[in-house]
Amino acid sequence: MTDASLGSTPRGLDAIRDSYMAQVHRRRLYGGLALLIFVVLMASGFNIADDRNAGGFWSGLHQIGDYPADVLSEAWEKRAELPGLIVKFFPALVETVNIAAVSTLIGAIGGLFLSLLGTRGLAKWPRLIPLFRRISDMMRAVPEIVIALVLIFVLGGGPVPAMIAIAIHTAGALGKMFSEVAENADLKPVEGLASTGATWSQRMLLGVLPQVAPNYVSYALLRFEINIRASAILGFVGAGGLGYELRNSMAWGPGRFDEAAAIFILLFGTIVFFDQLSSRYRNRLTEGQGQ
Amino acid sequence: MTAIDLGATNLDATKLNADKLFQRKRMGAFAIPVVIAIYLVYIFFAFDVPGLAGRANLNNAVTLASDSWSYKVHVTRDNRSGDTSYAIEGSRKGAYPEGQRPDWVSGDEVITIDLGADHVVRYLPGARTEIEIPGFQMIEVRAEGRSLVTNLPEDVPDWISASDRRIGITTPEGRITMTGARTEVFNYFPGWELFWFTLDSPYHGNGLAAILFGDRIDPDRPNITGAVSDWWNNAMWRHKDVAWAIGETILMAFLGTMGAAIIALPLAFLAARRFSPIMVLRAATRRLFDFVRGVDALIWTVVLARAFGPGPLTGALAILITDTGTFGKVFSEALENVDQKQIEGISSTGAKPLQRYRFGVIPQVVPVLLSQILYFLESNTRSATIIGAITGGGIGLLLTQAIQTQNDWEQVAYYIVLIVLMVMVMDWLSAWLRGKLIGRST
């Protein structure tokens, strides 16, 4: 018995080792192939992008510093005027932040309803869950610039088109994130409230919202950070705020670089400031959850 | 006794506390909506929403809505030379070939345009125009030099706008504009005409079945290759350029995201406390991440466009630089959270540091990294559309141009549909890849 088992073990071991090695080789081959495809894609993609660009990568590489250097040197020459310019552009900054804040607020309210109506177990009309999910997908898929450009054509330039555009995208994006949180919510409070005859809005307000509020607020703050950037970019295509001022001062070219520098400083400062602020509050919110 | 007394005072104190807490909560429940409402009122006036009604151009909205699903055929008469031309969307690319015209136009000396529903426009010799509209008098207009002579009464209905230089008539069947230089009739039809073939292509007007199975339409080319090449090179809808533009946008997102990930990974090791013992280096890397993230894609785009010129490469680099910061932050946080035990296990076999990283750390962080990268790939497709509009590349640029020219709204609608589809496909692709690579759970 023992002899037989001893005799058979090495052969079994060999087979296992062979198949293991074969598996490892196959996996390495696949991994290598995937890496090769990836490298080829990156290289050819880079070449195509380089070909279709107005200036080449290698010829432009040493010029990267030129524009910032021009802006900085001119701003340094006129450094005495810089505080005045910052004051001048401060209202534009306020507008950019306001666009982000309002659109986050409206988008969060929209996302709240989309998420509650699109989550199994919570929805008011369970049959319509797929509809609300598709609505939220559609709103998420439309880039802000599409809605903003169309609305600028209809409503004229200004903060409102940007606000609506960002709010729509935010509602879709938050709707998805919110509903992922809401799926994990405990349904017992909802059932308890339902047994007392509470209406749907009461069940949501008293049963679900207290559970999900920290996560919702945390996601909304993260969106706010993203939306500040989006609102600055949309300003560049004509939707008011800091981006609009930046485009104007860029269009003037040299001689107005001090204005561009002031706007760069304001934008950079704002983004960093709100990033820090929101990450501090988000940390506090998620820590509070652990208790 | 004392114990009970103490309990009673304690109870009172607790009750008081609870009451206060509830009061605070109630206050909060009222205060938060009130603060939000006050803020919205402030915004209402700060954004000048009341003035919006004055600035908004509802005519634009109507043109946009009707043009996006229909096309118009222009029948234009040059009032000086008396020549009449026919063109879809008034574009030279959509012009009818010499000797051809739409079948709702008839006559040689007097050109009769039947707009349908008894709306008839006649181009008479001598730069005269007659317009028959049911329920309204016959309108006669004559161009004299730069001005117009009409039989229109003083007060015209609101679908007619008349001055002695320009007359515009809008009916449900079509639009007519007249100036001294030319008379133009727009007849609207539903659909996107010329989407497949322009009028100069022999395949225009042939059905799919005729092209696939019918006789050879163009004697020089087989039907299918000819049709595909004519469609691909359609001068009106520019399918080739649109496909390239979408390719450029996706390329920007791909190059930017992947390049950022490649650069951020080694830097993230420098920024993570567990792997980077030198405090100064760690802090410097983190500040670098914060800096490139804070400068934001907008400013990077502006700066890079100066060096590299407009194009997809600039957009890709702008995304790359911004996302290097974001990835660096996320990756280094993931690296801080790795489990030490696996690294210890690897080092107990005598592995060198690089091998420890490769086999002890990387397998732990790969799921987090991949899911982040794929999520950003999708989100960057949207960013690339926007950056393309600024830096001049991709579908974003086409969309901006089409909106700025303000007459081809069906193309705007087409681009919007394509952009939404592109983002949805990328979203689906990234979710599918995520599922394939790291399992459904994450």
Mean of pLDDT values over B408-416: 82
pLDDT value for B370: 87
pLDDT value for B440: 53
- Nearest chain B alpha carbon to A273: B294
Asked whether residue B183 falls in the same domain as residue B264, the answer is no
**CB within 8 Å: B311 and A246:** no
pLDDT value for B6: 57
Confidence of residue B271 (pLDDT cuts 50, 70, 90): confident
Asked whether residue B245 falls in the same domain as residue B330, the answer is yes
More confident residue, B274 or A148: A148
Last residue of a domain, one of B190, B213, B229: B190
Asked if residues B373 and B257 have their Cβ atoms less than 8 Å apart, the reply is: yes
Mean of pLDDT values over B369-389: 88
Residue B64 lies in a domain: no
Shortest CA gap A171–chain B (Å):
15
Asked whether residue B27 falls in the same domain as residue B86, the answer is no
Which residues are CB-neighbours of A221 under 8 A, at least 6 positions away?
A278, A281, A282
- Nearest chain A alpha carbon to B296: A229
Confidence of residue B393 (pLDDT cuts 50, 70, 90): confident
More confident residue, B27 or A196: A196
Residue B427 lies in a domain: yes
Asked which of A266-275, B51-60, B291-300, B329-338 is least confident by mean pLDDT, the reply is B51-60
pLDDT value for A168: 94
Shortest CA gap A268–chain B (Å):
5
Helix, strand, or coil (residue B294) = helix
Residue A256: is its pLDDT beyond 80?
Answer: no
User: Which residues 30-69 in chain B show a CB within 8 A of chain A?
Assistant: 36, 39-40, 43, 46-49, 52, 55-58, 60-61, 64
pLDDT value for A4: 47
- Nearest chain A alpha carbon to B378: A141
pLDDT value for B2: 47
Cα B4 to Cα A149, A282, B11: the distances in Å are 73, 45, 10
**CB within 8 Å: B386 and A46:** no
Nearest CB to B403: which of A49, A149, A230?
A149
Rounded to whole angstroms, how far apart are CA atoms B67 and B200? 23
The count of residues in chain A is 291
**CB within 8 Å: B302 and A42:** no
Asked whether residue B352 falls in the same domain as residue B406, the answer is yes
Shortest CA gap B57–chain A (Å):
5
Residue B76 lies in a domain: yes
**CB within 8 Å: A246 and B310:** no
Mean of pLDDT values over B231-257: 85
pLDDT value for A144: 85
pLDDT value for A39: 92
**CB within 8 Å: A236 and B298:** yes
Confidence of residue A8 (pLDDT cuts 50, 70, 90): low
Q: Which residues of B touch A246 (CB under 8 A)?
A: 298, 302
**pLDDT tens, position by position, A77-105:** 887 888 888 888 888 889 899 999 999 99
Q: Which residues of A touch B400 (CB under 8 A)?
A: 149, 237
More confident residue, B5 or B120: B120
Average pLDDT, chain B: 80
Shortest CA gap B243–chain A (Å):
14
Could you count the other beta carbons within 10 Å of the beta carbon of residue B299?
A: 23
Asked whether residue B75 falls in the same domain as residue B47, the answer is no
Residue A167: is its pLDDT beyond 90?
Answer: yes
Of B273, B281, B195, which Cα lies nearest the Cα of B237? B195
Residue B66 lies in a domain: no
Residue B201 lies in a domain: no
Asked whether residue B340 falls in the same domain as residue B252, the answer is yes
CATH code for the domain of B309: 1.10.3720.10
Rounded to whole angstroms, how far apart are CA atoms B98 and B115? 22
Q: Which sign, positive or negative, has the C-alpha torsion B63, B64, B66, B69?
A: positive
Nearest CB to B56: which of A67, A101, A155?
A155
**CB within 8 Å: A42 and B255:** yes
* Residue range(s) defining the domain that contains residue B410: 239-438
Average pLDDT, chain A: 85
User: Which residues 384-423 in chain B show a CB within 8 A of chain A?
Assistant: 385-387, 389-390, 392-393, 396, 399-400, 403, 406, 412, 416, 419-420, 423
Confidence of residue B295 (pLDDT cuts 50, 70, 90): confident
**pLDDT tens, position by position, B338-365:** 888 888 888 899 888 888 888 888 888 8
pLDDT value for A276: 86
